[in-house]
Every structure is written in structure tokens, then in C-alpha cells.
Structure 1
Amino acid sequence: MSTHSDEDEDLSQDDQDHDIDQQVEEDLDGQQQNAFVTDDADVELSNQQQLGEFEDIEPIEAQPPNEIDVDEQERQQSGTPAFRTLEELFKEGVLTGTQMALLKSKYIDLQNALTLSRQAEARLRQEEHTYLAQIEKQKRILEEGESFPDKITTEVQQRRKDLLKYSNDLACTNERLFDLEYKIKALEEDKRALEKEKARIPNQHDIDEKIKNLSKECDELKRQIVQKKSEISDQNISLADKRKKYSVTTKQYDELKHTIETFESEYIQSTLRPAELIKQTDSLSLQRDQTEQEIEEMDAQLKEQINSIQQLRDEVEKLKSLSSKEMRLNDQQNQQNEKLTEEINNVLNLIAFEEAKLAKEQIDERQSTEAVKSTIQMGKQIREQHAKIQKQKERLLRELKRAETQFRHAKDELSSANMTIEKLQLKRAAMPTDDTDLETRKDDLKDDIDNLTKSHEKQEKEIIVKQSMLITAQKEHEEVLLKQSDYRRDAVSMAHFASVVSNEREQKCREKMKAKNRLQAVQEDLQRKTGEIHEHEKRIVDLEVRLKEFASMYDIIKNERNKCVNSIQINSQKSNEMKEKIKLLQNEIEILRTKLSILEKDLQKKNLLVLASVVERDREKHKVEKQRAYLRELNIQDQQQTLENRNYNNLIAFAEKELVRLRKDYDTAVLDRNERSVQLVERYNEEVVFQEKVNVQDAKLKNAYIELRSRDDEIRLLELQIQEEKREIALFKKKLPVKRALDQELELYRICVS
């Protein structure tokens, strides 16, 4: 609201200034018209009117210029609404610090220009009043000089009037010609300067072409860099393959070297053997005694091993007994299952018999409910029995697992015993012995060990077969239990139903005739419900299959949904960030539009500023020259960047040559591999640096293009300002001949009076 009120005040002040300027121009036009009138009557009337207008004007005195305090001016400016709004925008984050400083500096410059224009306007008005006072005095003098010869009318006076008239016309025409020549020269100079400036400014088409060429070169560089990266990746793959081959060859070389060293050591040892044999004979005698002691220790260890093997045999027998118990349990379960099947067959026979009877009788609803209740009770009993059987089964499975763990421990102990036996055999073979008893013991031990291993293998096979049998028996047992539960339910329900039917047969016979229709309906319902049950069972199977498929599909869809949700969240965050940036840009655009409107209003206020406009024109020319210098620097930078791009191309070509040379020299020079790999890594880093530089150059080109556009817009605005200032200068120059004509007329009147 404060900004709108300030704008309204500025507009009202501009209207007042415009009205004052129109009044001054009308006064000057009236003076110009009265200056060239030669008739005495018209002159007297105009003089009387002007005397009536300017009698109340006081003489104007020259005053010293007011001193401006910079600190006070800054304080006043800081309190303005424009600065407040800028600070608020800076606090909100819409504007940066540099933008706020630039806008403040521009506002201060415009305010200073406005103050200068107002001061110049006041000075011109003071000069106008002084000139009007001087003209008034001169007119009074002329009236006094022309008043006395009014009564005399002679030819001399007529000729004097004509002479004054024609001399005034001639002076006016000369002054007009002089002014026109001066204007023509000034316009020609301005034209030359503008042509020079236009020649210096590059065309937009050339700039666009340069930018397009640079963008094409940058794209080509990017493509080349991508190609180089792909080549480098291929070379890295080939290097990895070659490294693998090199590692294989190095391993082979190391093995060969190791074999050569072993052969050399054996050769040295063979050369030293004659001297060592004597020592060995002495040492063998000592070793013989030691070996005898070791043999005794080995015998003790063998006894311990035999004892451990016997323990293992006992454990295996226990396992066999456990497996036999399990087999007995399975046999018992099979017998129970056979008994159940027999019972089920008997029940089925009873059911068939009862069904034949039921075809003639009616089922009562109350009796069916009682039968259902009894079947539910029987089902509960069967479930309890089934739970007991399951507990027994779990207990047996636990015992089986324990037996398996014991079997594994026994197997591990047996393998460790075999390892120790093999070690003992190796030691025994290494020892020089001549006794036949040891060999016989050895053979016996070998036979025992072979027998043990064979028996152990047989036991393992038997245990595996038994385990498979147990697993199959468990599965069959579960199936039989399920069937048993179903058959028991049916059998119990039917038995109970048969007992109820046998007890109440007499009552049913009485109601036989009445229940035929009901029986037929119930049979149809039974057939229909059995069909529905089969259909529902099929549907349940299909639904289970579909549920499995849907579960797998649900997992896949869930994973994809999570991915999509993550991508949507990321995209929403990015979109929100972009919206915030767009809002900030829109706010900046609106601020710039308001600033443009303010600047246009300020430009309209500068119609009466002549001296200040000339100074500003010089300043703007200086700024334009600075901008041209800046554009030249940008062009130089573009040229430098093109040279750098060429250098980068040369470096990339050099890197390619180096890569080709490295490929050729790799097979021949394996020892230089590390150095070449280091060079390749350096080249890759250089390419990365080049790519970063290219990206920086792209950003610089974009910024330069934006700055060029902004500078072009500023140049256009400055040209419009220059045209407006030229128009104002022309208007003021048109007013100058009137002053000169009046001065010459005054001189002529003075001459005439004298």
C-alpha cells in the first residue's frame, strides 16, 4: 500500500510540473509573437497585458547552492519504502545480496538524477523570471522612448520603423540559419558516432552462429569423450584379461623356479651324502632304540583305539536296536491301520445296509440334529486320540534325531580313529624293522580295520535305507491317520444314526406314507449337496493354487510398488523444488516489471532536464564503451576457449596414440606394465578434467549469451533515451533564437533612443 501511495504522489507531482511547463511555454510563445509585431497599437496592448501580469513579481537574487550531507541522505534513503521492500525480499530469500545492492545503487542514482533535474528546473525557472524582468524593464524604456514622438508623423519615422522591421527579420533569419547549420553538424556527428558504434557492435546473427558452432564443437567433444571412455573401458577389460594371464604365467614361473631350487638343493644334498651317511649310521642306532620305545607306545595306542572301536560297535548296535524298535512301531501302526480299514469296511457295510433301509424311511430333523451332536462328540474324541498319536510320533522323531546325532558323532570318531591309524601306519612303515610279529600284527590290524570299515559302511547303508523307510512310513502314517479320522467320523455318525433308526423304526413306519415326498426331496438335496461339495473341493484346490500364484505375484507387485513409490517421492520432491524455483523467478520478474514501470515514469519526468541529460548521456556512452570492452573480452575468452578445445583435442589424439602404442608394446614389454597402467590412469583423469572444463565452458557460454541479451536490451533503452534527449535539446534550441532576437531588438531600441 505504501508503494502505491508513493506512486500516486509522484504522478500528481508530475502533473503539476507538466502544467507549470505548459504555462511557461505559452508565455514564451506569446513573447515570441509580440516580439515581431511592429504596429504601435499592438505593442502597447501587449505591453499593458504583460505589465499587468508581471507587476507582482519580485526581483530574484542569486543564492549559494545547498550543501548535501551524505550521511543524512543515506539515512533518508534507508527509510524509504523501496529500501524496506528490498530488505524484506532479501530476508525472505527472493533476492540475493548482490541483487539488492545493485537495485539500491540504481535507486540512489535515479534519486540523485531526479534531485539534479529538479534543481536544474528551479534554476531555469529563476533564469526565466530574471529574463522576464529584464524584458519588462526594456519594454518600459522603449515605451518611454516611443511615447514622445507619437504626435509627429513624418517619413523619417516611417522609414525608421521599416528599417527596424526588416533588420529584425534579417537577424532572425540569420540566427535560424545559424541554428539549423549547428543542428545539422551536431546530427551528422551523432550519426557518425552511431554508425561507428553500430559497426563495433556484433550482429545478433553472428553471435548466434558463433554460439551454435561452439555448442556443436562441445557436443562433438562430448561424443569423443564418450567414445574414449568406452575404448578405455574395453582396454581395462583387456588389461584385466592380460593381468590374469600374467598372473597364471607368473605362477607357472614361480613353480618352475621352485622346482629348480628343489633340484639344486637335492643336488647339493647328494654331493654331501657320503659325509652324511657316516653320521646317519650313528644316528640310526640311536633312532632304533627310540623306535622300539615308540613301537611300545604305539601298541598301547592301538589297544586304546581297539577299545574305542568296540565302544563304537556297541553304539552302532544300540542304534540298530533303536531302528528295530522304530520298525516295530511302524509294524504296530500298520496293524492298527489294517484294523481300522477292517472296521471301516464293516462300517461301510452297515452304512450300505442302513442306506437301503433309509431309502424307505424318513429322516427326522430332530434326530439328525442329535446325530450331528453325537458325531461332533465322536469327532472330539478322535481328535484327542489323534493328538496323542502325534505326541508319540514327535517323541519317536526326537529319539530318531538323537540317534542320528549319536551316529554322526560315532562316524566322526571313526574317521579320526582311521586318521590316527593311517598316521601310525605311516610311522610304522618309515621305521626300519626286521620282526615278523610286527608285520603279522600289522596285517591283522589292517584286516580288522577293513572289516570295521566294511561293517560301518553296511551299517550306514542300512541306516540310510531305514531312514528312507521311516520317512515313507511317516508319510503313509499321516495319510492313514487323515483317512482314519474321516472314516471314523463317517462310521460313528452312521453307527449312531443306525442305532437311532433301529430304536425308532416303529415310529418311522407309522410316518412312512407321509415322509415319501420329503424323502425324495432330501435325496435330491443330498445329491445336489454332494455335487456342490465336490465342486467346492475342486474350487478350494484351484483357489489354493491361485493363492500361491497370487502370493508370488503380490510379492513381485509389492517390490515394484515400493520402487514406484520411491520414484514418485523423488519426483514429487524435485517437482516441489522446481515449483519453488519458478515462484522465485516469477517474483523476480514481477519486481523487474515494477522497476521497469518506475524507470519509465522517471524517464518521463526528465523531459525538462537539459544539462543533467547531457551529463547522463556522457555517462551512458562511457558505460556503453565499457560494455563493448566487456563484449570484446568475452570474444577473446571465446577464442581462448576454442584454442583450449583444440589443445584438448590434440591431447586426446596424443592419448589415443599412446594407447595404441601401449597395445602394441604390451606383449613384448611385460615389465613396463605398471608404468603404462599409471599413464592410462593419468590420461583418464585428464579426460575427466577436460570434461569438467567443457562443462564449465558451457556454463560460461550460457551466462555470456544471457549477458549479451541483457546488454542489447540496455543499449536499446539507452538509444531511446538518447533520442528523447535529442528531441528535448531541439525544443530548447528552438527557444534560443527568441532570446537572441529580443537582445538584438533591445540593442536597436537603445541605438534609436540614443
Structure 2
Amino acid sequence: MSQAGEQTNPPSGGGEEETTPLSALAPDAALQEESLALGPTHVSASPAFQCLDQLFSTGKISGTKAAKLKASFSLLHDTLKSSQQSEIRLLQEAKQFRAELERQQRDLETAEQFPEGPDTEVSRMRQQLLKFHNDLRQAEERDYQMNYQLECLTEEKLCLEKEYESQPKPVELEKRAKALKDSSEELRKEVSQRRQEIHSLLEDMEARHKLMTREQRELDHKKDSIVNNQAELAQLLSVPGQLGKEIERINRKKMEVEKSKAALDEQLSEVAALQKMTEARCRSLEEEKREVRRQVEGRRAHLEAAEREHSMLQKEQEMTKEKEVIMMGQRYRTGCRQCPCI
């Protein structure tokens, strides 16, 4: 239902009881007539449009939302304007009906001043007139109610049509859906990038935490060393006599070490001379070894030649033995043939 239906209630019933609320609304109608007489103001010059422009310029709302809010405000402004006009018209009609009612009441009071008879023609006509008058009032009331409902429905239809026209078209919805999808993809990529950055930051923080822990351990160790060194320093400062004795002992030990070093130097020189002699002896032994190796190789060659000669002689001896056996066999066979007793 439109604002006209919410702000203006239709009169119901008949009689003088309806005149009280209608007369109370008369000053509002006068104010509205004065405002209309001053001239209509354009909706774009309203404070609401200026506020929306400021919000859009500061970036607090998007252009689509600002346009949608402006369209809604224009629709509400037009609805309010039509409701005000309908209210003024209805108030004027109520004034006219009130004046007509007062006139009819005066006529009725004038008619009641005449003398009435129980069965006079005037009385019957008067009753018939009152009945027709009441029927007429009821018919007018029903007609007024129907007209009022028709106007309300017409205004509601106009509001619904304007609201339907202000709704975005399918193409615009597809564009908005595509824009939202693109923005969601960008947001998803940004979220993934932020997650990677957070993961790298967490790894960096963990590495720094480990480094800080290691440095803290080193610092604690150094603090312990400092404390120990301070304790040792305090102990050393508290016993300076022991340092003198320790220095004397170290000096004595140093002298002993120097003496040992001199003795070791002498031994080292002797060892060096002995090493030189040993190296010379080793070189001579190497020469002798090489000479002996040459002699051994010569004797080995001579021995190999003798062995070859010995093997040849053995072969010749075996061949000679075989020849002797063959000759003895031949002689034996020859002797057997010559001897008759065999």
C-alpha cells in the first residue's frame, strides 16, 4: 500500500461523528497548499541527493549503490508528492461533504419545526424523504469508499511499476554478476598471495626466533664466562703473592726448558750428523744392491742357459737310450733267428 493509504484513512459511516477528525486535518492541508503554492522543488536539489553525492565523492559508497539509492529516493519522493496531492484533494472533498452535511442538517431542523400529525401526508413524505436521503448517503459512502480504494490501488500500481522499472535489467545483472565474479577472483588471488606472504612471514619469524634463541644461549654462555672470569679475576687479585710464586716457578721451569732445549739441540745436531752418515751408508748400500742385482741377473742368465743345455743333454741321453734299446732288440731278434734251439 502507498503512503497515501498509510497517512490518510478513509471516512467510514455517516453522521456528525465523521466531522471531528476531518476538521482536525484542515491545518495540514493549508500548510500543504502553501508549500505547493511556493512551487515544487526539484528532487536533485534535495539534501538527500547532496549527501549521496558527498558519500560517492569520498568513496564511502559505489556509483551503482548511489544510483540505486537515488532512484529509490526519487520513487519515494514521487509517491509522497502524489500522496500529498491525494490527501489535499480528499480534505477538500471532506470540507465540501461537511458543508453539505451541515446544510442538510439545517434543512432537517427546519423541517422538524413543522407540526406533525400521526398519519398526515407530510409525515409519510418526510419519512420517505429521510429514507431516500439515508439511502443516498449510504450509496455516496459506498461510492466514496470504492473510489478511495481505486485511487489507493492505482497509486500502489504506479509505485510497483516504478519499482519494477528501477529494478536492474538481466543484462545489467549479468554485468554485475561478471563484475562480482572478477572481483571475487581478484580477491581469491589476493587472499592466496596474502596466505603465501603470511606463510613466508611465519617462516621468517620462526627462523628469527631460532636465531634469537641461539643468540640468547650464546649470550647466557658469555655471561656465565664473564661471571667465571670475574670470579677468577677477583681470586687472582685477592692473592697477589701466589702470582709472584707462580711467576718464579714459571721462570724456573722456563730455565729448565731452555737447558733441555740446549741439550736437545746438541742431540739434534748429533742426530743430523748421524743421519747424514746413515744417508751416505744407504747410498753406498744402494750401489752395492744394484751391483749384486746385476750379478744375480747375470748368474740367473747363466743358470738358465745351463738348465737349457742340461735339458738338451737329457733329451739326447733319452734318445740314445731308446736307440740302444732298439739295437738290443734287433740283436736279440737276430740271435734268435740264428740259434736253432730256440
Short-chain TM bin = 0.3 to 0.5
Higher relative contact order (CA 8 A, sep 6+): 1
Larger radius of gyration: 2
> TM-score, with normalisation over the residues of structure 1?
0.17
